[in-house]
């Protein structure tokens, strides 16, 4: 399997612009997670889905952030409008049940820079 695929790998945008990050989970995985990683705050869980349905979005920082999962093989995280403090690495992860627990597998991340 190709693993979790994220695009783009790098995104540089100006403040106020809309940003869309994309994720393709591993086939057969039934959970999908979006995380944000910064030096100051570490790794933060933003939102996660089970069978394409959002379960918990309490980590989404503000209404400027939204996430969708229209089908089992695709999810997006959108920031509109973007701000410099949104600069971070955004990870997507998917999980499935294996050997008595769920296991999460991470994508390579999207490094977002908002100027």
Partner 1 sequence: GNSVTQMEGPVTLSEEAFLTINCTYTATGYPSLFWYVQYPGEGLQLLLKATKADDKGSNKGFEATYRKETTSFHLEKGSVQVSDSAVYFCAPMFSGGYNKLIFGAGTRLAVHP
Contact positions vs partner 1 (CB under 8 A): 4, 31, 33, 42-43, 45, 48, 50, 55-56, 91, 93, 95, 99-109
* Nearest in space to 52 (alpha carbons), one of 79, 78, 25: 25
CB of 15 to partner 1, least distance (A): 25
Nearer to partner 1, 66 or 104 (CB): 104
Helix (H) or strand (E) holding 42: strand 42-50
CB of 66 to partner 1, least distance (A): 20
Nearer to partner 1, 64 or 89 (CB): 89
Please count the other Cβ atoms lying within 10 Å of the Cβ belonging to residue 34: 25
* Nearest in space to 11 (alpha carbons), one of 97, 114, 92: 114
């Amino acid at each position: 399997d190709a693993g979790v695929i994220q695009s783009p790998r790098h995104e540089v945008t100006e403040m106020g612009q809309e940003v869309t990050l994309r994720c393709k989970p591993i086939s057969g995985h039934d959970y999908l997670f979006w995380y944000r990683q910064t030096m100051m705050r570490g790794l933060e869980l933003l939102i996660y889905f089970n069978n394409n349905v959002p379960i918990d979005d309490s980590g989404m920082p503000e209404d400027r952030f939204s996430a969708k999962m229209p089908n089992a093989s695709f999810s997006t995280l959108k920031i509109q409008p973007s701000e410099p403090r949104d600069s971070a690495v955004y990870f997507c992860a998917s999980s499935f049940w294996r050997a008595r627990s769920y296991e999460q597998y991470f994508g390579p991340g999207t490094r977002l820079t908002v100027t």
